[in-house]
Amino acid sequence: MARQKKATYTANTLRFGEWLRGLRESKDLPLRVVAAAAEMDQAHLSKVELGQRLLTAEQASSIAKFFGIDANEFEARRIVERFRLEHTDNPAAEQAINMLHEDPAIYGGKK
């Protein structure tokens, strides 16, 4: 049985893998085509879409280029997902995010 497509998706409410799957499916592309564009195994891409794995920076760059998406935006989404996966159960994660917002210049950002 084929999986039902979601009618809509928004980047702000979906996790990275869900967002990526929505992007791929909105173009009616099979996993193998997108995986080939990033020179990766389609099983790995499937796990990325399921939130079980992460893309490398190189894979993310290739996929962004394939879809014509700004590479910095795509990379930012990948970093957010990595942070979420690595720090979901860390009680200091929220404080760390707040610190970045309070004074981004100290932590390498721009004000």
pLDDT digits (tens, 9 = 90+) for 45-82: 999 999 999 999 999 999 999 999 999 999 999 999 99
Q: Locate all alpha helices (DSSP H) within 11-92, ordered by sequence.
A: 16-26, 31-37, 42-49, 57-67, 71-87
Indicate the domain borders of the chain: 16-102
49 close to 78: Cβ distance less than 8 angstroms: no
End-to-end Cα spacing for the chain: 50
Residue 14: what pLDDT?
Answer: 83
Q: For 6-40, how does the pLDDT look when each residue is reduced to its tens digit (9 = 90+)? A: 333 344 568 999 999 999 999 999 999 999 999 99
CATH class of this structure's domain 16-102 = mainly alpha
Q: How far apart are CA 25 and CA 107, in angstroms?
A: 37
Identify the three-state secondary structure at position 41: coil
Query: What does pTM read for this prediction?
Result: 0.75
Q: Binning pLDDT at 50, 70 and 90, where does residue 3 land?
A: very low
Count of Cβ atoms closer than 10 Å to residue 21 Cβ: 24
